[in-house]
Structure 1
């Protein structure tokens, strides 16, 4: 529907398109022989900008065009009412003067955002303390300040039929693989949904296997981490209203890496990296291994330890498998209560609840003391994993390990590992192998361990970067 030369008719039409919203306002003024009307949502605009950069210039310059008079960069024109209504909800002021069937769309949006703080979910030991926030433009600004090259490309999308969520895709044009970009563009372009909640909706809608426990897209709020992945030729996805960034494609090993590994010596960084992978194995298998040993194969346990286990389990009527499941479920309930409650109360519930429940279940002979130790060590091991999604996957994986170990003993434990490895080997991320791409001869130096910088000459295989060489002559001064 096109604009009408009548200001009153356009006002009624825009009011109808905006569902009779109470914050839709109009303002009339005259400059010379011209009669102007402003249409705007008073909850979305900066009034000072309207007065200083639209009304005053038009009153001062009565013999020039609107484009020449107003001092606003965000300027466009349209004859469509639908375009004008969309501009209004974006915070723009729509200008029309009587007798002309045209709208002038002027950017006057009110910008309110929280300040840039340190990362909340990813603790920084060394490196940048700037974290992403909910404003998309500010996040792009942060990334452009960190990557000062015209090679950084930003592509915008609008997802959601009703929400019109703004999404930005960042990549380095000379590094990102064109086939991966094309596949990503195909997937995100075919999303047909009313409302997009980032990053959760996007993560589920574009990943390869939606039913896998293992995360196939990395989520980060650290700007330095996003920069490092962009420099590897990967793609970063930012959404308006979310302080998180999605990284694709990534391998299984990326979830055990931390930017802090590269801020310290490679020997220390390698130790911490290896420790995280060992803790992941402990988190998924320790309760199952305990159940298998005490239920089927106690003779494998050294005699002194077996005596200790026997004394702790002497009056316990509950089978070991039920002990493990009961304690893990109790731990999950405590963890969820700690997260959902207000911060001071949540910390109190976590400490008091853990101590009280642990003491009561042991003294009442419901759970053995050794099972409390096993579950506590399992929980601590899962907390060592840097990525929240991988921590959650490790906690949930422990349950099938327990069940198979309770049925088949140590054979069930081995079978569980085989099933997990088979599943990982079959997973893809954006059509690229998820697990074994990090085990090639060039990139294995940055998976289990963090090798010296001089040995990390190749970029990760899963990124399929156009330029595979990352480091050429790092210590040229020694020649």
Structure 2
């Protein structure tokens, strides 16, 4: 639908397109022989900008065109009412001259956003202290500053019939695999939904295995981490209104990497990474192993440890499987209560609740001392995982391990491991194997361990990039 030459008719059209919203306003002014009408949403514009940079120049420069009269602000010309309506919702002010069909769109949006702050969920000891915020333009500005190359490509999308959420994908053209970009484009364009709540909606709508507990995209709030993955040939998704970015494709091992690993000695970085993987194994299987050994196979334990377990369970009437499940549920309740309550109260509940409940259940002979230690160690092991999504998976996986161990003992524990490994081996994201790359030759240099920087000469295999070399002469001074 095109614009009318009469401002009164256009006003009626805008009111209809905006469902007679009360914040849609118009202002008229006359300069010489010309009559102007301004259209805007008063909840979206900065009135000072409209007054100083649009109204006053139009009143002063009476004999020139609108574009010439207002040279400071960026202006777009259109005759399409749909495009103009979208501009209104973005905070633009529309100027029309009576008798002309052209609509002039000026950027006058009100900028109310929080300042760039330190990362909250991905704190590191060394490295950048800047975090992404909810404003997409600000986030793109951060990324442009960190990656000062014309090779950085930004592509916009609009998703959501009603929310019309603005999304940007970022990649380095000379490094990225074009097939991955095409597949990502196909999936984003095919999303037909009223609104999206990023990044959770995008993850679920694009995951290849919808019923997998394991995250298939990496979520981060750190611009420096987004930069490092872009340099590896991956693609980032940033969404307006969300302080988190999505990285894809990634492997299972990426969720155990931390920016700290690359800021310290490679031996320490490798040690901490192996520790995280080891803690993940403990977090998912330690309660199950305890149930299997107590219920079926206590003889495999050293005699002194077996006696200790027997003495701690002597007056416990509850089966080991119920002990493990009930204590894990109590741990989850305490964890959720700590997160949802205000910070001062939440910390008190976490400490006092854990001490009181742990003491009471042991003294009342509901659970054994050893089970309290096992569950506490399991909870702490899950906290060490840098990714919240992978940590959440580690919180749910112990339950099938416990039930398999309660039924079949250590054989059940081994079967549970087999099912998890088979599931991980079948996972793919954008055609990239999820689990295989970390165990394949040179890729182990930056998955299970963190090799010295001068050994990381090639990019990660899951990026499927043709530009594999990223370090050419790292220690040229040794010649």
**TM-score normalised to structure 2 length:** 0.99
Q: CA deviation at 1:291?
A: 0.2
1:51-450 pair list within 5 angstroms = 51-450=51-450
Residue 48 of structure 1 corresponds to which residue in structure 2?
48
Q: CA deviation at 1:76?
A: 1.3
Q: Which moved more, 1:65-74 or 1:391-400?
A: 65-74
Q: Secondary structure at the match of 2:95?
A: strand
Q: CA deviation at 1:52?
A: 1.6
Q: Secondary structure at the match of 2:285?
A: helix
Residue 6 of structure 1 corresponds to which residue in structure 2?
6
Structure 1: tracts of 5 or more residues without a match: none
CA distance in 2, matches of 1:11, 1:447: 60
Q: CA deviation at 1:315?
A: 0.6
CA distance in 2, matches of 1:245, 1:450: 24
CA distance in 2, matches of 1:351, 1:92: 51
- Contact 1:36-1:98 at 8 Å conserved across structures: yes
Q: Secondary structure at the match of 2:20?
A: coil
CA distance in 2, matches of 1:473, 1:78: 53
- Contact 1:54-1:71 at 8 Å conserved across structures: no
What are the Cα deviations for residues 244-282 of structure 1, in whole angstroms up to 9, with x where unaligned?
A: 000000000000000110000000001000000000000
- Contact 1:250-1:429 at 8 Å conserved across structures: yes
- Contact 1:438-1:460 at 8 Å conserved across structures: no
- Contact 2:215-2:390 at 8 Å conserved across structures: yes
CA distance in 2, matches of 1:74, 1:157: 22
What are the Cα deviations for residues 345-379 of structure 1, in whole angstroms up to 9, with x where unaligned?
A: 11111111111111111111101010000000000
CA distance in 2, matches of 1:328, 1:408: 21
CA distance in 1, matches of 2:80, 2:183: 34
Q: Secondary structure at the match of 1:280?
A: helix
CA distance in 1, matches of 2:168, 2:34: 41
Q: CA deviation at 1:5?
A: 2.2
Output the aligned Cα RMSD.
0.9
- Contact 2:159-2:166 at 8 Å conserved across structures: yes
Q: CA deviation at 1:303?
A: 1.0
Q: Which moved more, 1:281-290 or 1:95-104?
A: 95-104
Structure 2: tracts of 5 or more residues without a match: none
- Contact 1:160-1:192 at 8 Å conserved across structures: yes
**Does residue 21 in structure 1 map to residue 44 in structure 2?**
no
Aligned length: 479
Q: CA deviation at 1:458?
A: 1.2
Q: Secondary structure at the match of 1:43?
A: coil
Q: Which moved more, 1:240-249 or 1:39-48?
A: 39-48
- Contact 2:166-2:239 at 8 Å conserved across structures: yes
- Contact 1:312-1:370 at 8 Å conserved across structures: yes
- Contact 2:34-2:97 at 8 Å conserved across structures: yes
What are the Cα deviations for residues 136-181 of structure 1, in whole angstroms up to 9, with x where unaligned?
A: 0000000111111111110000000110000000000100001111
What are the Cα deviations for residues 282-340 of structure 1, in whole angstroms up to 9, with x where unaligned?
A: 00000000000000001111111111111110110000000000000111111111111
- Contact 1:93-1:106 at 8 Å conserved across structures: yes
Q: Which moved more, 1:235-244 or 1:463-472?
A: 463-472
What are the Cα deviations for residues 71-117 of structure 1, in whole angstroms up to 9, with x where unaligned?
A: 24431122222222221111010111111122111111111110000
CA distance in 2, matches of 1:6, 1:179: 49
CA distance in 2, matches of 1:115, 1:79: 37
What are the Cα deviations for residues 191-211 of structure 1, in whole angstroms up to 9, with x where unaligned?
A: 011101100000111121111
CA distance in 2, matches of 1:425, 1:23: 54
CA distance in 2, matches of 1:199, 1:73: 33
Q: Secondary structure at the match of 1:39?
A: strand
What are the Cα deviations for residues 392-440 of structure 1, in whole angstroms up to 9, with x where unaligned?
A: 1111111000000000000011111111111111100111100011222
Residue 471 of structure 2 corresponds to which residue in structure 1?
471
CA distance in 1, matches of 2:108, 2:216: 40
Q: Secondary structure at the match of 1:314?
A: coil
Q: Secondary structure at the match of 2:176?
A: coil
CA distance in 2, matches of 1:79, 1:154: 27
